[in-house]
Structure formats: structure tokens, C-alpha cells
Structure 1
């Protein structure tokens, strides 16, 4: 059975409708049952062959470690200087937040708010949501508010654009390289590392594991009804 193929057990479970987890295909909406996947294997839709899920070993532990590391890097990136300019013997350094404040004072309030949200607030919310989710589901059943955090994580993840800010900074550096000496700060390298760390964090996280560990109100009602019998 190849690493990227469809396990034979998945096809059998879909056909027989026995065992496994119910999952709807995101492309064709076919409802099918998926058995536990072997290590490093993926399951595809029985009808349209769209990828459904992939088994990620130690997802919660790896995600927790990467999220903690990303949180530390984000804190460092917003505290230490990101860039410095040297003109006529004078040097000036600024941080990410310092750049936002400078744009606000120069009249670019909209751009300043976008940079603040996309480069500072959204990454912080992305890391914070994932940390809370992972910590909450480590001991199932997880409280129902974890579902809200999972939805929020998907939303803020789309707005986390540190890499876009870095591209803009690099373009600006090329334009002013002839007018002043550019001094890269520690935060510039930290933000570059953070881009890869956030990508690794998202790749390691398996939301299917988190959804399966949430305590739903319907489950509690069923359990209470059975206890009264």
C-alpha cells in the first residue's frame, strides 16, 4: 500500500458502511466512513478521488511544540529592532510596531492598521487559538467552546501575512539601498524563521483529531437519557 494512496480498508469501509468515522467529501459531498489510517497514509474519496485526510503521527504533541516556539519567536520579533538605516554617520532603528506607529503619524492610517492586523494581531491570534485548542483536547472530552476556536483559527490563519510584509520590506530596501546603508535587525531574521514555523505548525496540526475529542451537547443528552433507563 503506497504512502499517498487509498488504503484498502478505507474502500471496504466505504462500501460496507461499517465502522470508521463519517466524513463528507469536500468536492462531491459523498458521505463515507473512514477507518483508522495507517502511519503516513492518506484516504481519498471513493467517487471523485479527492483527498479526504492524511494520518499525521503525534499531531497534538508536534503542534504544541511548534506553537510554543512560534509564540516565542513572535514575541521576540515585536520587541527587538527589525531594520536600521545609517545616513551621514547617523543610525536609526525601528521595530515592527515602530513602523506601524510611523505610518500612522504620516497619515497612512489604513495601511498602518492593515500591517498591524496582518503582521502582529492575526499571527498572535493564530498561535493563541491553536495553543488553546491543543491544550484543551489533550484530555478528552474537550469543552464545546473548542469548536469556536477551531473556526476562529481557520479565519485568522487566512489573514496572517507575515511573508507579505517581509516582501514589502525587501522591495523597500532595494529602493533605498542607494540612499542609505541598510542594517538588518534581528527581528528581520526572526520573522523569516517564523514564516516557516507557522507553515510547519499548520502542516502538523490535524483538526480531525480535535473535532473528534469535543464534548457535544447532543452526546451529553444521549448519555443522560441512557443513565435514566
Structure 2
């Protein structure tokens, strides 16, 4: 069995909570819409069942007539785009967490609250020597495409994310103040191609495919220092608790 990173917190927890909150709001409106469709759906079922009963036994016709109703109900109750985005983000963070778990001798905190801010950090990885850390922001895309940096804007395929780089840098500064050690910012892109496997922003921020994150961080130079490591991990756990906002 291979050793794994020490892990704290639950990756994607706050994104999943937001997806669940938005889904509850959607369901309230969708229930009302379904009730408005109750009478038309009943009439539709009777019409379809009657038509099918001319070629099928009555019981099979009744069951077969449920098909169009099921299709319509699925459309009524389909999750909206915002819910799908938050769910995809939570799933992407969980995939990144599984990759980070393979970092031997590191500690990784997930979904951390940042002191003095309503923002959260997706992942903070503490180096085995206790002398530094890496702030990792997972950016999930379902559309694929190529990743580019256009000034301070992260571009993935045809979509632009103007807040991704500045937001990651602000989170990095907050983590650096909390831990008192150098913190390197990384954006891990889940679901898109990064040319050459790595992009560098002028600030020092690195953009890598999430799939290569383990190999990227494993090359960070360090020497094991159990005392320094445990001291920094304790400081991180105390000052960067699980996000509850």
C-alpha cells in the first residue's frame, strides 16, 4: 500500500451545499409547474392509453402511455444551468482531492475558510518540510477546449474567466498571511487541455491540468522535516478551518 497525504476537510463541500440550496429553490417552482400540468397530463395519459389499447392489452397500454408523461416530467424537473455548474464544480474539486491524496508526506486541507473573508480556498497543500504551501484553485469545465492566459484572464475554449487569476492570487495572499510561509498559487483545470502541460502567469501563478497536479507538486524541492511539518499543519488546521459560509 502506498502512503498518502494527510487530508483535512471535505473537498467540494461548499460547492455541493450551494448546488443543493439552488436545487431546493428550483424544486419549489418545479412542483408548482407540475401541479399546473396535472390535469393536462392526466388527459394526455388517457388519450395515449386509449389509442394504444387498440393494439396492446389494456394493462400494457396503460404502462406504455406513461412514457410521454415520464419524458415531460423529466423536462419539468431537470436541474437548471446554475445547479449543474455548482455540481460540476463540486465533482471537479473531489477529483482534484483524489489526485492530491497521492502526495506522499504532504498535508492537504480542502474547502478552507479564509481569515477575514467570505471566500474559501479549494485546496491548500503543505510541503513535507513545513516551509511552504501551495494554494490550488480547481477550475472545472464541461466544454473542453484549450486553456490560455490572456493577460489576467483565464480562457478555456470559448469561455473567459476574468476573476479566476485575481481571485486565486487574493486567496494565496490570505493563506500566506495566515501561515506565515511562502505560498505558491496554482489553478488546476479539470476537463480541458493545457498546452505543454503548464502555463505561467507573470505573477508566478501556475496553470496545470488537474490530471498532472500530483506530478507537478511532487517535483517541488523539499527535505522532510517532521517537526516543521507538523507545526505548520497545526497552524493551517487552526487558521484555515472548514468553510461553512
- Is TM more than 0.5 here? no
Higher strand fraction (1 or 2): 2
TM-score normalized with structure 2 length: 0.23
TM-score normalized with structure 1 length: 0.25
Higher helix fraction (1 or 2): 1
